[in-house]
Amino acid sequence: MPGPLAALFLLQTNVWDLVGQGTTLTYGILAVLLIASVYSWTVIFSKLSSFGRARRSDIRFLSAFRKATGLEAAMVASEQFRPSPLVSIFEQGYREVSRQVKSRGALANRDAISRSLQLAINEQLSRFEQNLNWLATTASVSPFIGLLGTVLGIIRAFQGLGAAGSTSLGAVGPGIAEALIATAVGLFAAIPAAIFYNYFGNSLKETGARMDDFSLEFLNLIERSFGE
């Protein structure tokens, strides 16, 4: 009786044998699914790194920002944490404050500062949202592409069965097994994409909430620094 490794080797051999019997259309469908899967995993690893790096740098910058005694001190502290998305938001707000103080000698329009902060938040969120649509598309479309390959494979298997004039399961079984590989590959591409799309959606909400909270802290610092 073969051991686990031997059984796994036989399974892999059988799968490759089945794939080797496919048509050009089958190969095309499998290639599309494999490309989608590889690119999805590229997006997944990239986003895991981006969200993790942003979270760590934001935490460090927030700690320094809250210790700052004023706007200028916060600006000096921000230079150490420039990769942080919160630093980009802070700098956008700081530029608007500087423009108002330079031109009028005081803060004349706090709503303009709020709008500047919101624009910076939207810009950062758009950056984090890049390529997430690819995961959603892969998750929703890949199973149907795999199903298309399966249907075409089953049609071809039954055509071969009719041409051979045989009605045995042994004659049609390999063709159906080959067809089902497309569905398996489609699910292999779709399931991780769906899982991580939802995961990154929650991370995006967390990041957006952190940015909104920071904008309020920035406005509070402005109030303390410049008064009414």
The model's pLDDT over 70-113, given as tens digits with 9 standing for 90+, comes to 888 888 888 888 778 999 999 999 998 888 888 877 777 888 88
204's tokens: 């995006």
The pLDDT of residue 168 is 54
The pLDDT of residue 4 is 41
The pLDDT of residue 211 is 94
- Kindly compute the dihedral angle of the four CA atoms of residues 197, 202, 204, 207, in this order, to the nearest 10 degrees: -150
Q: Is the pLDDT of residue 15 over 70?
A: no
The string of pLDDT tens digits covering residues 101-160 is: 888 777 778 888 899 999 999 999 999 999 999 999 999 999 999 888 888 777 776 766
23's tokens: 């048509």
Residue 108 CB coordination number (10 Å) = 10
> What's the half-sphere exposure (Cβ side, CA atoms, 13 Å) at 149?
29
Going from N- to C-terminal start, the domains of the chain cover: 30-226
Three-state DSSP at 131 gives coil
From residue 69, alpha-carbon distances to 75, 97, 112 in Å are 11, 17, 23
Contact of 173 with 206, CB cutoff 8 Å = no
116's tokens: 């500047």
Mean pLDDT score of the chain: 81
Instruction: Provide the residue type at 71 as one letter.
Output: L
Q: Is the pLDDT of residue 172 over 70?
A: no
Distance (Å, whole) CA 117 – CA 227: 19
What separation, in Å, do the N-terminal and C-terminal C-alpha atoms of the chain show? 85
Three-state DSSP at 165 gives coil
